[in-house]
Chains A and B, each alone.
Chain A
Amino acid sequence: MPKRPDLKSILIIGAGPIVIGQACEFDYSGTQACKALREEGYRVILVNSNPATIMTDPEFADVTYIEPLNLEMLEKIIATERPSALLPTLGGQTALNLSMELNKAGILTKYGVEMIGAKPDAINKGEDRELFKQCMIKIGLDVAKSRTVKSMAEARDAADFLGAFPLIIRPSFTLGGSGGGIAYNKEEFEGICANGLDLSPVHEVLVEECLLGWKEYEMEVMRDHKDQCVVICSIENFDPMGVHTGDSITVAPAMTLTDKEYQVMRDASFAVIREIGVETGGSNIQFSVDPVTGRMVVIEMNPRVSRSSALASKATGFPIAKIAAKLAVGYTLDELRNDITRVTPASFEPTIDYVVTKIPRFTFEKFLGADTTLTSAMKSVGEAMAIGRTFKESMQKCLRSLEVGSRGFGGGGKFGGDEILDEKIINAKLGTPNSERVFYLRHAFRAGYSVERIFELTKIDPWFLHQLREIHEMEQDLSTKTLKTIDVTTLRRAKQFGFCDAQLAHIFKSDLNAVRAHRKQAGVNTTYRLVDTCAAEFEAFTPYYYSSYGDENEILPPSGKKKIMILGGGPNRIGQGIEFDYCCVHASFALREIGYESVMVNSNPETVSTDYDTSDRLYFEPLTLEDVLEIYTQEKCDGVIVQFGGQTPLNLATALKANGVNVIGTSPESIELAEDRKKFSAILDATGLKSPANRTAMNEGDALKAAKEVGFPVLLRPSFVLGGRGMFVVYSEEEFKAVVRQAFDVMPDKPVLIDKFLEDAIELDVDCISDGETSVVGGMLEHIEFAGVHSGDAAMVMPPHTLNAAMLNTVRTATYALAKALKVVGLMNVQFAIKDNELYVLEVNPRASRTVPFVAKAIGVPLAKLAAKVMTGAKLKDLGFTREQTPKHWCVKEAVFPFVRFPGATIALGPEMRSTGEVMGIDADLGVAFAKAQAAAKPGLPTKGNVFLSVKDADKPRATALARALVELGFTIHSTSGTAKTLADNGVPVKRISKIAEGRPNAVDMLKNGQIQLVINTPAGMIPRQDENKIRAAAYAHGVCLMTTITGAFAAVEGIRALRDKPVGVKPIQHYRGNVNLV
């Protein structure tokens, strides 16, 4: 049946800000869906609070609402737009939950909106653990024995029923399994259950038989309304049960199932999707298999596209989200074409002749104090994927794609040293799942462990362990040889085992260039193979490649157009995520517009940039010098863009240039200048600008000396990092000594920078574009917090809300001078501080910044696209962008933090970035815009109730005015002794409550009881007090609005006032657009 003619417009809800468990894979799926539905002529209405997404670009939907994702806003949008249908399955858990809320509140019925893809009943059955379990038993499938409980008493009964520890506890309706865990004893059981009941929005947890150590599988399934079902991909987890699949190393296709077992799992997957009743679209179904008996248990299903379906799409070339969207509007699988082969229909099952490995990327280093053990609650912030002809090749490629300093499974680099480690260390690292376990498997082999012994410790399937053993054996064998003595056959096999030149250089005690030269001479060359969905059975037309060492090279002949390579950002991490992918995608679109061929290189499966539709040629490859150079050479590219993918390509820029690569746009030297203090000072001198007093140091002693010279407080930071890793505001010598080692450890052999820290300064981020002749400010963003909060974490207002026109002019002039001095061709970001009406330059980065997509949305100008065009030589005047655009509305950016995932970590804003995502609030009124940003970042500002106010001494003078304003707005203030006294002394009514150390009830009790609606708690010093942290953690856990800076609190007051006095409307960004006529 063709598409439904009765539907006219379709509402798509995005996934909101990037959080752990929900990253840019939903931008990928949402973007595909928007494109697919508009292609069919439907009017697409999109809602998403995340401005860094491609899907929220104005051209991807008919109307795009960058508004908070909550019931109130959604109802307003539905009332305005009156969509005929809502597609709830493409925006992750956020969209699914919100759609269910809309349905429950009767809003869909009220406005006659049909839910397509999956009906509420099906979503409920898929999501509600108890209902799901009953469904599975009904259709003759096995499930883990379990009980759903709503109280501690019921939980204890369940533990008795199930008999033995360990037991798994899973809270209902929490994202990525947060709040769950494995209890090995009664005490842990009590703790995890209590926490889980607390976190579950329905106060419900599942207590379950523990399948720890069993094998884990995922099936990506699609169904159409004719009940035709296909499996797109099977995935086997390298890490056995016990580690959240998002935190597991996973491999496609499944490796250790016989056909009999695989077909039972396939049949079961179809039985599940049919019984749950997902009418059309994709679902992910997880299974567990007992390695001893083959007993197969259904774990859970996601009745929507998921992170795994993004992975499956990239792994097979089958665009799950796009097809899901088309199925939702009435098409059947056999009516849709496979884009890659063009001749075969979408009703087939991809077959792959390579192995795909995904490894999660963690950032525990940013959350000191957090538990680094991997459990059933997801903790990773990103992932890398690699494709190889064999598992060994794919695994080693993926390890180097991770960009954590590892070159693969050994062969030098971080974790790859030649030492023999103590068994105690190895056993500890193997016995408990952790993010470094894979590296310690090698150390175990090195220490002489047998596969059997490693299996006993890890329960990782012996098949995988033997594959790694083979890599280890190869490394041992190679280490007996040198570049002179190695034979061609062994060298080729080493490359086929996934060894990169850097590993070989380490093993042969040679260097990268010598290995490369030797390899070329020996004729051991990289070949590129196609990802074609069909294992070469049919001709493929989509140039989607991976590298290998085989007989045949499948690179398509050149088209005759000039080729520009774009280097992506690699796996998501804090500080480098979707914003940079957004820029890379724009570069690709721009190049296509002006007749270039774009060649994308990236290793992150969650992204839009790795959609085979995005660029003319896609290389799913690690972003290392060897891999990038090889593609550049073989594709005979004319240039490469390094300034869009964040730090990853920048770290390669100089070496690429040294190897004869044409880096287009701003030169690598200018880009590096930002990190080179001497050259930076010279530029400032030349432009007549100043920066806070600063020093560079190569060792700890010099660093302290430098700190004393510039005077405390100082800003201490390593060079060459993004996201403020190892960056501290230090107020005293003691503090300095405590942290200086960490700053050096981030980038060994690189200097650390020590700057005078400007207290209470206003910070301003400026994004600018230049073609070498003309420079135009894209946007100025004033931070709400005083300087000292990382710009990725700071709330920002655009246009600046407190600075006067004269100062903004000074800023503008300074920006243009810097762009000129640095010979910027492309984008540049400058961070300024303003103190006592003096302008200081904090940082200059002549490259795309994290704020580019936000600014582009605010001014309605695709800055990244323009930048890509100017890098190819186009001029801004010819492109029609020569005048700075000041939005006539207020745009507020707010950051979103993962603290709830890392119990025990310090909750405070600082110079080290720790947010995972961002949201945008837009309105004609600044207060409303701020309130919208808060609502989008969740939980949003309260309009009445109790405030817990506790500030550091330095903030006490301002606390009085703050409290008075809150009292005027009708709030009741609760404070502990110090702040309470200040307020009382100044005549502000305040209720004194106990500090945690003083007894109970205290603020934490009140938070748990829902008696506090707003927490304002500004931490003192660099290392905050534990008690204060407990209060902030409780606020996070219970969804209570938390402000940790005094300026943030003042902004909140303005937001609250606006919410009470002014209407909060919704407006699509297309209606905000200025009158820029781009050519």
Chain B
Amino acid sequence: MWNFPPQVTQSAHKTLGTGHTTSFRSALMSTFKPGVLALEDGSVFRGRAFGAAATIAGECVFNTSMTGYQEIITDPSYFGQIVTMTAVQVGNYGLTPADEESSGPKCAGFVVRELSPVVSNWRSEISLDAYLAKNGIPGLAEIDTRALTKKLRVDGAMKSCLSTLPLSDEEAVKLARSWRDMAGSDYVKDVTCKAPYLWSASDASNYNAAYLPIGTTFKAPPPPAKRFKVAAFDFGAKYTIFRKLVRHGFDVHVFPATTRAEEIREHKVDAVFLSNGPGDPAALSYVHQTVTKLIPDYPIFGICLGHQMLTHALGGTTFKLKFGHRGGNQPVKNLETGKVSITAQNHGFATDPASLEKNGAKVTEINLNDHTVEGLRHTQLPVFSVQYHPEAAPGPNDADPLFVDFYNMVEARKAGKI
């Protein structure tokens, strides 16, 4: 699972007292390797190549998070996408094993305004450039990312091509246009686990403990003593979801997306969790059917694609947003409590609210920017989900209490209260 190359510059740690590496990039043009990003509308952005030498095509999207590029790159929900960061200085703090959200980078390509010439953070073990190069992902820097973002905002997410190899503008545009569309595609099959496994609560390389600086405790209560067994569908799950489930009193049994309902029943789990993941939620009818079967019998909690799976399983529908929600500053209002949380989001599709209400569920949360559905709850059964990411990573922890809600729901169910 661990994908970091061994060339960690420990000596530099000692001399500088930070994760700063002694190697750095020169600012000069002589070190400039050209790269290109082309969009289906014919726009071409030429900049500085970094990461791997490769040509890829995918859907170009933008993310407005100001921190957390490592979590974003390794989030399987970005599978097939070329992610543009609106934050301008990227790569500053390098990457560290504890911040990985999956077995390695999952996005198809990565675009930034400026890549840091050096890494400076005590936690860092590798630079962004080296990490992407090692993992075969091309990156592009020094293009006008704001102009690109505005284009995506106005015209919507676009089929695109990113290349760090010699490629003409025409070829790049052609490659962008010839990429298969995301709508209707099952990307989950590419990122789900191949076989069921237990997410170890004790393996140190799972980084289950929350990151806390020495001396900072927040006086956080210990995890509940009584633990429940949850079956977590891995549609391309972020590790931090499993970490948070562990912290909140669950033993996490991870299952591939294709797992049938009967198999879940055989495992005698207390609850079911539906993870995030990439692609078009409508293209996953095999998942919809499984979830429909599980709804009557298990407390269920879904996040992001998991929320969309629940939508479909309940008989609802999803639709594609123009340019999606990707960032760490999205305001979500809980219609039941009236309270607003700032949430991390990463989705290009959303639930149709009308379709939910016809099928025994209600909208519990909405996005205050565009009033799209951010959460749903079954009116009778202990089943709920959110479109956003309460596990954060990256982004705000404001919605962390949802994991407590899930635990309490399972506990009440076990006690026969619901």
Contact = CB atoms under 8 A, between A and B. Distances in A.
A485 to B, nearest CB: 13
B150 interface: yes
B185 interface: no
Nearest to B24: A466
Interface string A379-401: 00000000001110000000000
Given A261-B213, A264-B216, A452-B15, A389 B88 contact: yes
Contact of A259 (B89, B218, B219, B393): B393
A462 interface: yes
A489 interface: yes
5 contacts: A334-B331, A462-B18, A473-B26, A537-B327, A550-B147
B99 A455 contact: no
A467 to B, nearest CB: 8
B92 A463 contact: yes
Contacts of A551: 45, 144, 147
B315 interface: no
Interface string B114-128: 101110111100000
B94 to A, nearest CB: 8
Interface string A269-282: 00100000000000
Contact of A345 (B86, B93, B328, B331): B331
Given A256-B120, A295-B215, A228 B65 contact: no
B329 interface: yes
A257 B93 contact: yes
Contacts of A141: 216, 218
Contacts of B149: 353, 535-537
Nearest to A292: B17
A461 B120 contact: yes
A359 interface: no
A350 to B, nearest CB: 7
A268 interface: yes
B55 interface: no
Interface in A230-266: 230, 234, 253-264, 266
A257 B67 contact: yes
B92 A390 contact: no
B340 A334 contact: yes
B18 A291 contact: yes
A471 B147 CA distance: 24
B175 to A, nearest CB: 21
Contact of A489 (B29, B71, B150): B29
Given A140-B219, A462-B20, A259 B146 contact: no
B288 interface: no
Contacts of A258: 67-68, 70, 93, 96, 99, 121, 123
Interface string A471-498: 1011001000000000001100100010
B195 interface: no
Contacts of A263: 67, 392, 394-397
Nearest to A552: B147
A294 interface: yes
Contact of B218 (A139, A226, A462, A470): A139
Interface string B41-76: 000010000000000000000101111101100000
A293 B17 CA distance: 8
A343 interface: yes
B204 interface: no
Contact of B86 (A234, A268, A536, A550): A536
A463 B116 contact: yes
B216 A296 contact: yes
A250 B120 CA distance: 17
A389 B29 contact: no
A289 interface: yes
Given A348-B330, A463-B116, A259 B216 contact: no
Interface string B320-341: 0000000111110100001110
A267 B398 CA distance: 8
Interface residues of B, number: 74
Contacts of A291: 17-18, 122
B372 to A, nearest CB: 13
B225 interface: no
A295 B220 CA distance: 17
A302 to B, nearest CB: 21
B22 A452 contact: yes
A477 B146 CA distance: 28
A748 B146 CA distance: 43
A351 B66 contact: yes
* Residue picked from A263, A469, A493, A538, most chain B C-beta under 10 Å: A263
| The 9 nearest A-B residue pairs measured at CB | A142-B215, A259-B68, A535-B86, A470-B27, A259-B394, A140-B219, A140-B217, A463-B120, A349-B329
Given A292-B17, A348-B329, A537-B327, A297 B215 contact: yes
A390 B22 contact: no
Given A291-B17, A473-B28, A493-B29, A228 B146 contact: no
A345 B212 CA distance: 31
- Majority-rule SS of B interface residues: loop
Given A226-B340, A351-B65, 20 more contacts: A140-B219, A258-B67, A259-B65, A261-B121, A262-B67, A292-B18, A295-B215, A332-B340, A343-B370, A349-B396, A353-B88, A353-B145, A390-B89, A451-B24, A455-B20, A463-B92, A536-B149, A538-B369, A552-B147, A552-B150
A259 B393 CA distance: 7
How many residues of A sit at the interface, in one of the four size bands? Answer: 35 or more
A536 B215 contact: no
B381 interface: no
Interface in B67-116: 67-68, 70-71, 86-89, 92-93, 96, 98-99, 113-114, 116
Nearest to B338: A226
A129 interface: no
Nearest to A1: B338
A267 B218 CA distance: 9
Interface string B212-241: 111111111000000000000000000000
Given A264-B216, A390-B113, A536-B149, A226 B339 contact: yes
Contacts of A493: 29
A471 B393 CA distance: 33
Contacts of A259: 65, 67-68, 70-71, 99, 393-395
Contacts of B167: none
Interface in A1029-1058: none
* Residue picked from A289, A471, A489, A550, most chain B C-beta under 10 Å: A550
A228 B368 CA distance: 14
A347 interface: yes
Contacts of B22: 452
A827 interface: no
* Residue picked from B16, B65, B92, most chain A C-beta under 10 Å: B92
Contacts of A293: 122, 213-214
A262 B328 CA distance: 12
A347 B340 contact: yes
A307 B166 CA distance: 50
A539 B153 CA distance: 9
Interface in A284-309: 289, 291-297
A254 B17 CA distance: 19
B99 A351 contact: no
Contacts of B397: 263, 266-267
Contacts of B396: 263, 266, 349
Nearest to A497: B27
B2 interface: no
B32 to A, nearest CB: 8
A1007 to B, nearest CB: 44
B342 interface: yes
B88 A355 contact: yes
A351 B88 contact: no
A295 B123 CA distance: 12
Contacts of A226: 338-340
A342 to B, nearest CB: 11
Contact of A466 (B93, B117, B329, B339): B117
